[in-house]
């Protein structure tokens, strides 16, 4: 049976109905219609569906929608807009860390959380943080460069 | 498709009552890190999901003279670095650093990880190495079961209908003369271990092994104790000689893992040898350190 | 030239980083329902009956289809051997047998479970060497002779009944070459190599959305590599005129060769027609990995005749492509893989027998480097072995055997813009080839390896583009070239901006839609920069010609004396005599501006012809559009106890003729390197005894994570630019060469580190341990 689910996504409130077996990813994509959060592996490995929930990173396919009831979610759509890109979004473009773009939303949220928690990560920190985000185009080298460039900018200031 | 109900008790007793009421059709959801996929992909179709998200009192880590008690809802990420406050948990804390990835560790609970009873579980191997036990609560009472008795087979546990795992107890040991370590091998960072080996050694001042425990993971359905290897060490001086290498050989000689697509039985046996020796060396170094 | 050659940011980047890029998986249409496919659990079985009645009666089920609902038409790339839904037999686990469209994916999945299929199990055939026998234990396609075939295979006295491809090369006197080497005491080096089962494993799974209009027109949204191949495939499968099919390509979440055809799209279309509703189909990851085309293995037997001085004078190769239940997109691989047997080397004599066979496994398809990445594994490992045998440095040995500009290879491909030497030496310098790796403490060992690669781009082929010029002097490029992530849209935009002397943001790209954009062959074979790039340049020229002709009367000048740049048309040599592009438009009441005369729409088709090669000799005229070169080197660290191989340092040096977008080339170098590392070390589709894939998940099929990559300071991208006479601005493609030398470079580095060869990909830790133990047992394991 369907249950009401209340979510704050990117500072907007949504009320949708979900089945208990629907994941947070299903609620975000199909219930709310924010499709920037992607689905790729269906076994929780790839990290493409990564979002932030109350400031913590989660693979949204690995949490039931109802577990997130009443919580605040940040998806890629809430990270920045075309007119006002988040510095990481700009850095990913600048450093060539975007190819097909399918894993990009999850990568960016992982990067955001990393820098929010640790403004000057080392390369090893970046590598540990990204273990849960797979990319078939192989943007890892450039993504690392992009993230470290922002950390450096902050240090320069 | 079966209609599925979602229930959110707020106390352990309420949760237990619901579990008792709904019997086999009920499944507990803690962090959801495993359950959500099984549900979404239609691999399980329970009639009732009992979410313990709002059950209070399952998130504490407390230490007494007997050991450290960890609430079932403590997340894996909280266990990273927990050895600063609770040195008994050093091996567990280090092992958890490499379990899955940060997204999963953020929400995966210790209780959930134990109950999944994945044959490649690092956590259950470490807990077995540390002689840990779990507390199971039901409407009719509670019982304490060792990890070794709790994990009965791959993906199978001794949990009875109506029971909820509420806490894990890791017994204390003399940190000045004993230590535990865990070594694992993965084919790719973030994946399940091909093989993992946990070791616990207690030494006297002369380097003689007073107590030892060697537990091998992912070579059978459950964490498996390497008794022959333990026998080679217990009561013997194991510092500065071949003892650890012998133990590795013995541990390897007495496992009979089934091969899987990722690793043949023969290769797993090779890894048991290497990892046993390395985990023993680390534990010995810590215990004598 | 001010835009081409710069690292312009990708034009589709903003959408991708903000989550607004719409992929096939994101498309939602009114009244849309969801499809799931019922698949065969058997590798080989006869279908005796299908009962769909239970599924049809389930609430929420809108349509169920089986082969009986489809035209009885066999499909395929060149040998038409496959029905969209299994007709009488299934020939691999996972073959589609029926399909359901329902209100939700869950209902469709449940309904598939309710479809009852009665099978008669047949013995399966998995071993390619059994399959190729004249008297195989099992024949997969009893009616093979009746199939329509669009390609001639080599003549044989008797065709082995499971054979679908045979190709021969007979160049020079092979017997004389071996005799010469025997007589003079040179080296005969013979080895067997095998490649693994590899999947594209794109992050976006295969999928499509199908919708029919009331006039009988089908519109299909599918993230494939070629809207025209998709369109024609759909038309064929559903027995429609191609003009009744419109294919729109949204953003594509990776393809790498795996999205050439849209079989699942045709299933969705058939369901949509029956349900009279739009139907969306998205394959599960397990379906995607186990039931869509893979890079299936090759077995190579190579025998080389090498003089004492280390000159390769003769090569004999027998290869078998381990095909699956159907010939599929792998049909040309036994031919195209031969490109690398000469590769970049001079070969007086080359003798090749190359085959493709049916087995009851997943069908063979394309994956970045179509055949070349596979044969490079054998050839470039072989070169390393030859170098060691001759006691000549592996780089020097390769250089000694290289062709020179203007020569032809043993398969008659001209060595033009021949940059192998430069790629190799720059790569060697970057990895400090002359300096041996440092010694580490046991059980770790370090070593370096290098390999050369070569990738053709196929012909015949064609690309068309249209270029419309607007009144604000902005340009609109209409192309069916697809951006799969490789950056094609950005490069084509750069070309237009460059040709018109305008800014990149003044160029709008109309993305592939067969109702609007003209023919382009395919986003494959490293062909978009080269072919679509040429077509784009030509369309720009055509549009500028039209503008000059329209402007000539206004400027009282001959069209040939005019030039167009920066939104202005001016007289060459007298830039003050000019008008604006806008002046070619007039104000129309109620309508804003319209062209004063005719709309300026440049059109062009770039075409490369090729003469078909004789399948019995492999000889002919120029067989391919161009060939690109590259070299890669790796320094590895090997743990002989666990078998773990870490790539410490990786260098990729590729020749792109002209780096249209240097950052884009770097992205190919790093990204291709990443995929190449995965293929070399980790990736392996595994099957059980019934023929079912046992690791069909991204957990178990191990594409690399960030941790498998070298640290950034040890990743090096080198761009070599030796212009090709026919490339736009001299450019050649970069998309595939970057995975061609990777595996042998790594394998050679492992040998350098621990002195063992592993002959079959991937070079897993388990194989490393096994090889090391064998070496120790053989008594020469005192050290690496």
- Residue C24's CATH number: 3.90.1170.50
DSSP C728: G
Is C507 found in the same domain as C554?
A: yes
B206 touches chain A (CB under 8 A): no
Residue C366 forms part of a structural domain: yes
* DSSP codes, C593-635: EEESSS--EEEEEEEE--PPPPTTT---S--EEEEEEEEEEEE
C576 alpha carbon, distance to own chain's centre: 50
Is C501 found in the same domain as C600?
A: yes
Name the closest residue on chain B to residue A132, using Cα atoms.
Answer: B101
Is C446 found in the same domain as C374?
A: yes
Is C488 found in the same domain as C366?
A: no
Looking at CATH, the fold of the domain delimited by B178-288 is given as Enolase-like; domain 1 (3.30.390)
Contacts of A56 in chain B (CB under 8 A): 106-107
Task: State residue C2's pLDDT score.
Answer: 85
pTM of the predicted model as reported, rounded to 2 decimal places = 0.97
Rg (Cα) of chain B, in Å, rounded?
A: 19
Query: In the complex, which subunits touch B with 3 or more CB pairs below 8 angstroms?
Result: A, C
pLDDT over threshold 90, residue C784: no
Residue C145 forms part of a structural domain: no
Nearest to A127 among C12, C20, C706 (CB): C706
Average pLDDT over residues A50-72: 98
Inter-helix orientation angle B122-129/B90-97, to 10°:
170
Query: In the complex, which subunits touch C with 3 or more CB pairs below 8 angstroms?
Result: A, B
Structure tokens at C27: 């498309």
Name the closest residue on chain A to residue B97, using Cα atoms.
Answer: A128
Task: State residue C598's pLDDT score.
Answer: 86
Cβ distance C22 to A96 less than 8 Å, yes or no, reads: no
pLDDT digits (tens, 9 = 90+) for A75-102: 999 999 999 999 999 999 999 999 999 9
Burial class (CB in 10 A: 0-12, 13-18, 19+), C75: middle
C565 alpha carbon, distance to own chain's centre: 37
Contacts of B104 in chain A (CB under 8 A): 44, 59, 62, 132
Cβ distance B106 to A62 less than 8 Å, yes or no, reads: no
Q: C700, C771, C773: which to substitute to probe chain B, counting the most B Cβ within 10 Å? A: C700
Average pLDDT over residues C328-342: 96
Backbone angles phi, psi at A142, to 5 degrees: -70, -35
CB-CB neighbours of A124 under 10 Å: 9
Sequence-ordered list of residues with C-beta below 8 angstroms from that of C20, at least 6 positions apart, any chain: A36, A77, A82, C14
Contacts of A1 in chain B (CB under 8 A): 3-5
pLDDT over threshold 80, residue A156: no
Burial class (CB in 10 A: 0-12, 13-18, 19+), C591: exposed
Nearest 5 degrees, angle CA C134-CA C136-CA C139? 110
DSSP A31: I
Pairing of strands A3-9, A72-74: parallel
C29 alpha carbon, distance to own chain's centre: 31
Task: State residue A153's pLDDT score.
Answer: 75
B139 touches chain A (CB under 8 A): no
Cβ distance B103 to A64 less than 8 Å, yes or no, reads: no
Task: State residue C781's pLDDT score.
Answer: 47
C588 strand-pairing partners: C592
Task: State residue B2's pLDDT score.
Answer: 65
Average pLDDT, chain C: 96
* Cα torsion through C671, C672, C676, C678, rounded to 10: 30
Q: How far is C617 from C746, CA to CA, in rounded Å? A: 33
Confidence of residue C783 (pLDDT cuts 50, 70, 90): very low
Coil vs helix vs strand at C146? helix
Residue C139 vs residues B189, C89, C323: alpha-carbon distances, Å = 43, 12, 14
Rg (Cα) of chain A, in Å, rounded?
A: 16
Q: How far is A86 from C12, CA to CA, in rounded Å? A: 17
Name the closest residue on chain B to residue C768, using Cα atoms.
Answer: B267
Task: Report yes or no: C702 and C708 within 8 Å, Cβ to Cβ.
Answer: no
Name the closest residue on chain A to residue B44, using Cα atoms.
Answer: A21
DSSP B153: E
Cβ–Cβ pairs < 8 A, chains B and C: 51
Residues of B with CB under 8 A from a CB of C: 1, 41-42, 185, 187-192, 260-264, 266-267, 270-271, 274
Nearest to B189 among C641, C686, C707 (CB): C707
Inter-helix orientation angle A104-117/A87-94, to 10°:
120
Chain C segment 65-124 residues within 8 A of B by beta carbon are 106-107, 109-110
Domains in chain C: how many in total? 3
Average pLDDT over residues C618-631: 91
Pairing of strands C475-479, C461-469: antiparallel
Question: Up-side HSE of residue B64: CA atoms within 13 Å toward CB?
Answer: 5
Helical (H) or strand (E) element with C96: strand C96-102
Task: State residue C590's pLDDT score.
Answer: 79
Residue C197 forms part of a structural domain: no
Residue C619 forms part of a structural domain: yes
Residue C124 vs residues C90, C136, C530, C693: alpha-carbon distances, Å = 10, 11, 43, 14
Contacts of C706 in chain B (CB under 8 A): 189
pLDDT digits (tens, 9 = 90+) for B112-160: 999 999 999 999 999 999 999 999 999 999 999 999 999 999 999 999 9
C694 touches chain A (CB under 8 A): no
Name the closest residue on chain B to residue A106, using Cα atoms.
Answer: B103
Task: Report yes or no: B151 and B117 within 8 Å, Cβ to Cβ.
Answer: yes
pLDDT over threshold 80, residue C612: no
Helical (H) or strand (E) element with C168: strand C163-171
Average pLDDT over residues C440-447: 98
C282 strand-pairing partners: C207
Structure tokens at C353: 């027998």
Task: State residue C251's pLDDT score.
Answer: 98
Structure tokens at C319: 């290869």
Domain interval for residue C586: 461-608
Helical (H) or strand (E) element with C245: strand C245-248
pLDDT over threshold 80, residue B250: yes
Residue C545 vs residues A104, C237, C562, C571, C596: alpha-carbon distances, Å = 42, 42, 9, 14, 16
Structure tokens at C624: 């391919």
Confidence of residue B41 (pLDDT cuts 50, 70, 90): confident
Q: How far is A80 from A36, CA to CA, in rounded Å? A: 12
Is C506 found in the same domain as C362?
A: no
Residues of A with CB under 8 A from a CB of B: 1, 3, 19-23, 26, 42-45, 47, 50, 56-59, 61-64, 66-67, 110, 128-129, 131-133
Name the closest residue on chain A to residue C16, using Cα atoms.
Answer: A101
pLDDT over threshold 90, residue C283: yes
Cβ distance A62 to B190 less than 8 Å, yes or no, reads: no
CB-CB neighbours of C762 under 10 Å: 23
B75 touches chain A (CB under 8 A): no
Q: How far is C64 from C56, CA to CA, in rounded Å? A: 6
Is C69 found in the same domain as C212?
A: yes
Q: How far is B74 from B82, CA to CA, in rounded Å? A: 11
CATH number of the domain enclosing C771: 3.30.365.10
pLDDT over threshold 60, residue C586: yes
Is C362 found in the same domain as C270?
A: no
C189 strand-pairing partners: C304
Name the closest residue on chain C to residue A28, using Cα atoms.
Answer: C26
Task: Identify the CA nearest to C295 among candidates C150, C210, C196.
Answer: C196
CATH class of B61-171: alpha beta
Confidence of residue A155 (pLDDT cuts 50, 70, 90): low
Average pLDDT over residues C191-200: 98
Q: How far is C781 from C684, CA to CA, in rounded Å? A: 28
Task: State residue C513's pLDDT score.
Answer: 98
Backbone angles phi, psi at B137, to 5 degrees: -115, 140
Q: How far is B58 from C354, CA to CA, in rounded Å? A: 65
Is C589 found in the same domain as C671?
A: no
Cβ–Cβ pairs < 8 A, chains A and B: 86
CA distance B16 to chain C (A): 31
Contacts of B263 in chain C (CB under 8 A): 766
Task: Identify the CA nearest to C432 among candidates C641, C133, C290, C634.
Answer: C634
Q: How far is C96 from C101, CA to CA, in rounded Å? A: 14
Q: How far is B149 from B128, CA to CA, in rounded Å? A: 10
pLDDT digits (tens, 9 = 90+) for C201-231: 999 999 999 999 999 999 999 999 999 999 9
CA distance A108 to chain C (A): 8
pLDDT digits (tens, 9 = 90+) for C84-120: 999 999 999 999 999 999 999 999 999 999 999 999 9
Q: Provide the residue ranges of all domains of chain B, joining segments of one domain with +.
A: 5-51, 61-171, 178-288
The share of chain B scoring above pLDDT 70, in percent, equals 99
Task: State residue B289's pLDDT score.
Answer: 81
Cβ distance A127 to C707 less than 8 Å, yes or no, reads: yes
Cβ distance B185 to C109 less than 8 Å, yes or no, reads: no
pLDDT digits (tens, 9 = 90+) for B56-95: 999 999 999 999 999 999 999 999 999 999 999 999 999 9
Task: Identify the CA nearest to C168 among candidates C318, C272, C284, C280.
Answer: C318
Q: Which of C579, C608, C637 is the last residue of a domain?
A: C608
Structural domains of chain A ordered from first start: 3-78 (3.10.20.30), 87-156 (1.10.150.120)
pLDDT over threshold 70, residue C780: no
Cβ distance B262 to C110 less than 8 Å, yes or no, reads: no
Is C448 found in the same domain as C468?
A: no
Name the closest residue on chain A to residue C10, using Cα atoms.
Answer: A93
Cβ–Cβ pairs < 8 A, chains A and C: 177
Task: Report yes or no: B82 and B62 within 8 Å, Cβ to Cβ.
Answer: no
Is C538 found in the same domain as C449?
A: no
pLDDT over threshold 60, residue C705: yes
Confidence of residue C620 (pLDDT cuts 50, 70, 90): confident
Helical (H) or strand (E) element with C18: helix C13-18
Structure tokens at B261: 């697509």
Task: Identify the CA nearest to C201 among candidates A122, B66, B184, A102.
Answer: A102
Residue C78 forms part of a structural domain: yes
Residue C767 forms part of a structural domain: yes
Q: How far is A48 from A133, CA to CA, in rounded Å? A: 7
Residue C447 forms part of a structural domain: yes
C682 touches chain B (CB under 8 A): yes
Name the closest residue on chain A to residue B107, using Cα atoms.
Answer: A58
Tokens 């549900």 identify what position?
B39
Residue C657 forms part of a structural domain: yes
Nearest to C695 among B42, B188, B261 (CB): B261
Cβ distance A93 to C21 less than 8 Å, yes or no, reads: no
The answer to whether the bond into C460 is cis (omega within 30° of 0) is: yes
Is C642 found in the same domain as C739?
A: yes
pLDDT over threshold 90, residue C591: no
Nearest 5 degrees, angle CA C612-CA C613-CA C615? 120
Contacts of C23 in chain A (CB under 8 A): 35, 38, 102
CATH class of B5-51: alpha beta
Name the closest residue on chain B to residue A52, using Cα atoms.
Answer: B103
Structure tokens at C333: 């691989």
Looking at per-residue pLDDT, the higher value among C586 and B274 belongs to B274
CB-CB neighbours of C692 under 10 Å: 17
Residue A114 vs residues A77, A97, A140: alpha-carbon distances, Å = 18, 16, 15
Sequence-ordered list of residues with C-beta below 8 angstroms from that of C214, at least 6 positions apart, any chain: none
Task: Identify the CA nearest to C59 among candidates C99, C98, C116, C114.
Answer: C114
DSSP B157: E
SS3 percent helix, strand, coil of chain B, rounded to 5, is 35, 25, 35
């Amino acid at each position: 049976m369907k249950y009401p689910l209340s979510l704050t996504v990117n500072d907007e409130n949504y009320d949708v109905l979900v089945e208990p077996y629907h994941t947070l990813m299903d609620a975000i994509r199909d219930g709310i219609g924010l499709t920037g959060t992607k689905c790729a592996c269906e076994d929780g490995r790839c990290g493409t569906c990564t979002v932030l929930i109350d400031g913590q990173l989660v693979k949204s396919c690995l949490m039931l929608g109802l577990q997130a009831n009443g919580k605040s979610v940040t998806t890629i759509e809430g990270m920045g807009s075309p007119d006002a890109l988040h510095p990481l979004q700009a850095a990913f473009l600048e450093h060539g860390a975007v190819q097909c773009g399918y894993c990009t939303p999850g990568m960016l949220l992982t990067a955001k959380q990393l820098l929010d928690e640790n403004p000057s990560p080392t390369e090893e920190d970046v590598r540990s943080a990204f273990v849960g985000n797979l990319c078939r185009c192989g943007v890892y080298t450039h993504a690392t460069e992009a993230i470290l460039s922002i950390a450096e900018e902050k240090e320069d200031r | 498709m079966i209609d599925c109900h979602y229930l959110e008790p707020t106390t352990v007793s309420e949760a237990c009552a619901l579990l008792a009421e709904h019997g086999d059709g009920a499944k507990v959801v803690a962090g959801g890190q495993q359950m959500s996929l099984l549900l979404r992909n239609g691999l399980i179709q329970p009639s009732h999901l009992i979410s313990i998200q709002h059950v209070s009192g399952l998130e504490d880590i407390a230490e007494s003279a007997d050991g450290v008690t960890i609430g079932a809802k403590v997340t894996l990420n909280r266990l990273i670095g927990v050895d600063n406050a609770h040195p008994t948990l050093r091996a567990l804390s280090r092992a958890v650093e490499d379990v899955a990835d940060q997204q999963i560790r953020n929400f995966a609970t210790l209780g959930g990880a134990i109950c999944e009873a994945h044959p490649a579980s690092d956590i259950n191997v470490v807990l077995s190495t540390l002689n840990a036990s779990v507390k199971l609560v039901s409407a009719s009472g509670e019982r304490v079961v060792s990890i070794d008795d709790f994990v009965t087979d791959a993906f199978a546990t001794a949990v009875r209908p109506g029971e909820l795992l509420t806490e894990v107890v890791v017994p204390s040991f003399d940190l000045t003369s004993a230590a535990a370590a865990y070594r694992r091998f993965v084919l790719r960072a973030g994946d399940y271990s091909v093989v993992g080996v946990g070791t616990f050694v207690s030494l006297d001042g002369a380097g003689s092994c007073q107590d030892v425990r060697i537990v091998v993971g992912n070579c059978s359905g459950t964490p498996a104790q390497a008794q022959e290897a333990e026998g080679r060490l217990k009561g013997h001086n194991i510092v500065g000689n071949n003892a650890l290498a012998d133990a590795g050989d013995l541990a390897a000689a007495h496992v009979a893992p089934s091969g899987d697509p990722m690793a043949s039985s023969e290769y797993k046996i090779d890894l048991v040898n290497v990892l046993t020796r390395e985990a023993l060396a680390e534990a010995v170094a810590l215990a004598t350190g | 030239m001010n835009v081409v050659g710069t690292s312009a940011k990708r034009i589709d980047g903003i959408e991708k980083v903000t989550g607004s890029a719409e992929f096939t998986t994101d498309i939602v249409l009114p009244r849309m329902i969801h499809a799931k496919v019922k698949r065969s659990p058997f590798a080989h079985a006869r279908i005796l009956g299908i009962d769909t009645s239970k599924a049809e009666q389930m609430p929420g089920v809108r349509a169920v289809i089986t082969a009986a609902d489809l035209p009885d038409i066999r499909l395929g790339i060149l040998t038409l051997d496959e029905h969209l839904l299994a007709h009488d037999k299934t020939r691999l686990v996972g073959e589609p047998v029926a399909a359901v469209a329902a209100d939700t994916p869950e209902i469709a999945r449940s309904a598939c479970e309710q479809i009852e299929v009665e099978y008669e199990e047949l013995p399966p055939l998995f071993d390619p060497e059994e399959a190729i026998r004249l008297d195989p234990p099992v024949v997969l396609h009893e009616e093979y002779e009746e199939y329509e075939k669009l390609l001639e295979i080599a003549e044989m006295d008797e065709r082995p009944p499971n054979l679908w491809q045979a190709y021969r090369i007979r160049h020079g006197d092979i017997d004389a070459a071996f005799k010469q080497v025997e007589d003079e005491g040179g080296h005969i080096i013979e080895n067997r190599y095998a490649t693994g089962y590899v999947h594209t494993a794109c992050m976006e799974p295969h999928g499509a959305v199908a919708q029919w209009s009331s006039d009988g027109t089908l519109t299909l949204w599918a993230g494939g590599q070629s809207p025209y191949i998709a369109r024609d495939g759909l038309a064929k499968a559903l027995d429609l005129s191609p003009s009744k099919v419109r294919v729109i390509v949204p953003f594509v979440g990776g393809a790498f060769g795996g999205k050439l055809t849209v079989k699942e799209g045709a299933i969705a279309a058939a369901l949509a027609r029956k349900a009279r509703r739009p139907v969306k189909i998205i394959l599960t990851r397990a379906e995607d990995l186990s039931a869509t085309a893979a890079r299936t293995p090759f077995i190579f037997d190579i025998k080389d005749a090498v003089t004492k001085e280390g000159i390769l004078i003769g090569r004999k190769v027998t290869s078998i492509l381990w095909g699956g239940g159907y010939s599929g997109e792998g049909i040309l691989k036994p031919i195209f893989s031969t490109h690398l047997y000469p590769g970049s080397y001079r070969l007086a004599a080359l003798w090749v027998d190359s085959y493709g066979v049916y087995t009851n496994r997943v069908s063979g398809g394309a994956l970045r480097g179509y055949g070349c990445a596979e044969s490079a594994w054998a050839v470039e490992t072989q070169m390393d072995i030859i170098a060691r045998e001759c006691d000549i440095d592996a780089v020097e040995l390769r250089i000694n055997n290289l062709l020179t500009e203007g020569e032809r290879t043993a398969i008659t491909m001209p060595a033009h813009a021949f940059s192998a030497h430069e790629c190799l030496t720059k790569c060697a310098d970057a990895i400090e080839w002359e300096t041996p790796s440092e010694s580490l403490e046991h059980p770790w060992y370090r070593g370096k390896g290098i390999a050369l690669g070569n990738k053709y781009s196929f012909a015949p082929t064609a690309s068309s583009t249209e270029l419309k010029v607007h009144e604000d002097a902005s340009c609109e490029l209409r192309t069916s070239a697809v951006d799969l992530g490789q950056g094609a849209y950005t490069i084509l935009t750069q070309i237009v901006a460059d040709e018109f002397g305008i800014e990149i943001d003044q160029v709008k790209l109309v993305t592939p839609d067969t109702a609007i954009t003209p023919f382009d062959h395919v986003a494959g074979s490293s062909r978009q920069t080269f072919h679509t790039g040429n077509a784009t340049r030509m369309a720009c020229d055509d549009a500028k010609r039209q503008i000059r002709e329209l402007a000539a009367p206004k400027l009282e000048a001959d069209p040939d004396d005019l030039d167009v740049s920066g939104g202005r048309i001016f007289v060459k040599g007298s830039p003050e005599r000019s008008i604006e592009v806008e002046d070619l438009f007039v104000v129309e009441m109620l309508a804003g501006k319209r062209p004063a005369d005719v709309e300026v729409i440049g059109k062009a088709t770039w075409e490369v012809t090729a003469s078909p090669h004789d399948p019995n000799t492999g000889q002919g005229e120029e067989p391919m559009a161009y060939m690109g070169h590259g070299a890669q080197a790796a320094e590895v660290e090997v743990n002989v106890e666990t078998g773990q191989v870490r790539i410490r340092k990786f260098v990729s040096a590729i020749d792109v003729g002209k780096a249209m977008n240097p950052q884009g080339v770097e992205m190919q170098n790093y990204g291709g390197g990443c995929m190449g590392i995965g293929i070399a070390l980790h990736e392996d589709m595994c099957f059980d005894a019934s023929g079912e894939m046992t690791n069909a998940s991204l957990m178990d099929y191990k594409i690399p994570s960030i941790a498998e990559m070298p640290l950034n300071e040890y990743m090096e991208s080198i761009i070599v630019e030796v212009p090709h006479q026919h490339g736009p601005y001299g450019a050649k493609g970069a998309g595939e060469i970057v995975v061609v030398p990777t595996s042998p470079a790594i394998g050679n580095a492992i040998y350098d580190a621990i002195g063992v060869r592993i002959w079959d990909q991937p070079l897993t830790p388990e194989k490393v341990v096994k090889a090391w133990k064998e070496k120790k047992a053989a008594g020469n394991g005192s050290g690496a």
